[in-house]
Structure 1
C-alpha cells in the first residue's frame, strides 16, 4: 500500500518533519511492507522555510534579527538562484521567525506594542543578497501593527501630525498622519504566502479575529481596529500603487495586517499551501497514493479555510483517495470535514483519555508517542499488509 504522509506542524510541540517521522514510525510497526512517502508541509506560518528548504535547491542563510519586543533572535532566509524557466532569484522568508507568537511568554503578549520590525530586517537582508523575488510566509504572528514595523525597517516610517516617528506597535497607529522616506526594495517582486483571506479591519479583520489569542482585551481590539483603519487610509493616500479599499482586500489581515503592508508595497497574496504544494511536487505524490495522512495541532473550523489540512484533503478528494487527519485536538464538525474531503479524524486528546482524564496534558507532553500509537492503530484498519 502506498501511503502519503503530509502533515503540518503541531504548534508548540512538534515541527512538521517530526510529526511525519512519528506517523511513519507508528505505521511501520504494524505494516512494514507498505511504501511510505513523507512530505511535511507548511502554509506560510512556522516551519515554512524549513519545509521548503528540504525540497528546493538553494542555501539557507542565517540572519540576526529581533523578536516582537525588539530582543535579538536568530532567523534565516532560503535563497534560490534564477531558474532556466525565467523564475528570478528568489528568497523565501518566514514572518514567524521574527514576529511569532511562540517567541513570547503568555505574560508578554500585547499586540498594542509588539512590532513586525524584525521581519523587515529579514526582507532587507534578502534584497541586499540579490533576490529579485521575495516569498514571505505569513502566519503565527504576535503582532497587530499592519506591518508598520516592517515598513520602518525598509525605510518607510509612519509619523504623527508633527512629523515625529511613531512608537512601535499597533496602538500607536491611532495617531498616524503620514509616511516619510522610501522603501529600500530595489524593485523586487513581493509575494505574501498566507493561509487566511481575512480583511485588515472589521468584524472579520485582524484585530477582532486574531487579537484575543495575542493578548488583546475587548477594549484593545476596538482601539487596534480603529488604528489599523486609519493606517490603511494613510497607506492608500501616500503609497503609489497601493490598492484602493486596502482594509477590505482579502488577505490584508494576515499575520496581524502584514498582508496589508505587502499589498500596499505592490505585492500580492498567494495560497501558502499552494506554494509549498508546487515546490514539493505534492500532486505527483497524491497521484500515486492509496491513502493520505495529514494533520495539525488543532483541527477546527479554521483548518477548513485555506490551511494545510484543507488543501491536502481537497486534493485527495478530487482524486478519489481517502484522507485521514491526525491532530492534537479535533473540534471541526464531521459534516464540514467530510465536505472538505476528510474521511476520518483522530485526536491525541481522545487517544489519551479525553480532557477530563488529563488527555490534553499528555497530548502536549507526549505528542510523538501518541502519534506513533495512533498511526500503528490506523495501519491495522487501512493497510492491506497490516
Structure 2
C-alpha cells in the first residue's frame, strides 16, 4: 500500500516534520511493507519557513525584530530562494511567544505586529530579493497589522498627532497615519494566508481568533471596534474603499495583518495551496492509495482554507481516501466528508485524555497511527 503522510504542525507540540515522522513510526509498527512518502506541510502559519527550507533549500537569514509584547526583541528567520524571500509572521509575532498563563485580555489588546514589518524590511534590503512571500497565521496580535505598517512608515496617530502605543485596543483612538505606508520600491508582496476570514464582524479577526489569544467577550468587542476605526483611517490613507478593506476574504488572517498588507499592495494566495504546489503534493497523491494529514485541532476553522481541507480536497479529486489525525477533533463526520475527509481520529481520545496526549505528543500520535494502520493497511 502506498501511503502519503502530509500533516501540518501540531500547535506548539510537534512541528510538521516531527508529526510526519511520528505517524510514519506508528504505521510501520503494523504495516512495515507499506510504501510511505512523508511530505510535511504548512499553510502559512508556524513552520512555514522550515517546511519550505526542507523542500526548496535556499539560504536562511536571521535577524532581530520587535516581538509581540513589551517591545522585547526576538530572533526571526527568513529564507531566500533565488529572488524570492519567504518569511512567516509567526516568527515575529507568534502566539507561541506568549505563554498560556499570560494569554489574558490585556495581552490580547496590547500585542503588536511591528516585528513583521521589520522582517519584511530585512528581506527587502537584500538586493537579490524582488519578491517576498509572507506566511500569515499563528499570530499573537489583533492589531490589524498596524504595527507592521508602522515599520513601513505608516505610524498610527491620535487626534493630537501623537503616536499610538502598540496593540489593537489603542487603535480606537487612531485619527491619522504619519504617512501612507509603502513597500520598498521594486518588491512584489505575496500573502500566503491560512484562513479566509474578513477583518471585522462575527467572522472577523477579533471575534474568531481573539479568544485563543486571551480576549474575553468585552475585549473582543473592544478590539473589533478599534479595528473598524483603524480600517477607515488606513483605507483613506491608501485610497481604498473602507468597506471593501473590512470585508475582503483573508483580511482577518494573522490578527488583521492580512488586511494591512493587502492595503499596501499584497496579493493574497492560499498558503496551503502554495506549499502544496512547491512540495509536489499532487504528484505524490497521483500515486497514492491513502493519505494521512493532521494538525493540533481539527475544528471549524480548519474548514476555512486551512491545510487539512486543501489536502483532503486534492485527495478526493483522485478518489484517494484521506484520514485526519488531530490532537482533538471538533468537526462532525458529515461536515468533514463534505471537504473530502474520510475519517477523523483524535489523539486525545485515543490516549485517554488531553493530559495523556500532551505528556508524550509524538508517542501518542504514533500509537494512534499504528491503530489506524491496523484498520486500513491492505484494505485497498
TM-score range (shorter-chain normalised) is over 0.9
Q: In the alignment, which residue of structure 1 is the partner of 2:300?
A: 301
Q: In the alignment, which residue of structure 2 is the partner of 1:97?
A: 91
Partners of 1:364 and 1:56 in 2: CA distance: 31
Q: In the alignment, which residue of structure 2 is the partner of 1:311?
A: 310
Partners of 1:300 and 1:244 in 2: CA distance: 29
Q: Does 1:125 align with 2:119?
A: no
CA contact (8 A) 1:325 1:345 kept: yes
Query: 1:385/1:330 Cα in 2 relative to 1: closer, same or farther (>3 Å)?
Result: closer
Equivalent in 128, 152, 155 of residue 154 of structure 1: 152
Partners of 1:43 and 1:158 in 2: CA distance: 30
Q: Does 1:113 align with 2:107?
A: no
Q: What is the Cα deviation at residue 385 of structure 1?
A: 9.8
CA contact (8 A) 2:205 2:256 kept: yes
Superposed counterparts of 1:1-386, under 5 Å: 1-69=1-69, 70-81=71-82, 89-109=83-103, 110-130=107-127, 131-181=129-179, 182-240=181-239, 245-353=244-352, 359-384=353-378
SS of equivalent to 1:320: coil
Partners of 1:343 and 1:185 in 2: CA distance: 46
Greater shift after overlay, 215-224 or 163-172?
Answer: 215-224
Query: 1:128/1:290 Cα in 2 relative to 1: closer, same or farther (>3 Å)?
Result: same
Partners of 1:184 and 1:203 in 2: CA distance: 31
SS of equivalent to 2:108: coil
Partners of 2:100 and 2:343 in 1: CA distance: 33
Q: In the alignment, which residue of structure 2 is the partner of 1:84?
A: none
Partners of 2:137 and 2:298 in 1: CA distance: 16
Q: What is the Cα deviation at residue 229 of structure 1?
A: 0.8
Q: Encode CA deviations 1:102-160: one digit per residue, 9 max, x unaligned.
A: 10123433221111011111101010013211111111111011111101112221111
Partners of 1:141 and 1:10 in 2: CA distance: 15
Partners of 1:217 and 1:29 in 2: CA distance: 45
Unpaired segments ≥5 residues, structure 1: 82-88, 354-358
TM score, norm. by length of structure 1: 0.93
SS of equivalent to 2:3: strand
CA contact (8 A) 2:56 2:81 kept: yes
SS of equivalent to 2:236: helix
Greater shift after overlay, 238-247 or 305-314?
Answer: 238-247
CA contact (8 A) 1:242 1:265 kept: no
SS of equivalent to 1:13: coil
TM score, norm. by length of structure 2: 0.95
Q: What is the Cα deviation at residue 19 of structure 1?
A: 0.4
CA contact (8 A) 2:232 2:242 kept: no
SS of equivalent to 2:349: helix
| Residues paired across the two proteins, number | 374
Partners of 2:186 and 2:177 in 1: CA distance: 19
Q: What is the Cα deviation at residue 331 of structure 1?
A: 1.5
RMSD of aligned residue pairs (Cα, Å): 1.6
Q: What is the Cα deviation at residue 246 of structure 1?
A: 0.6
SS of equivalent to 2:331: coil
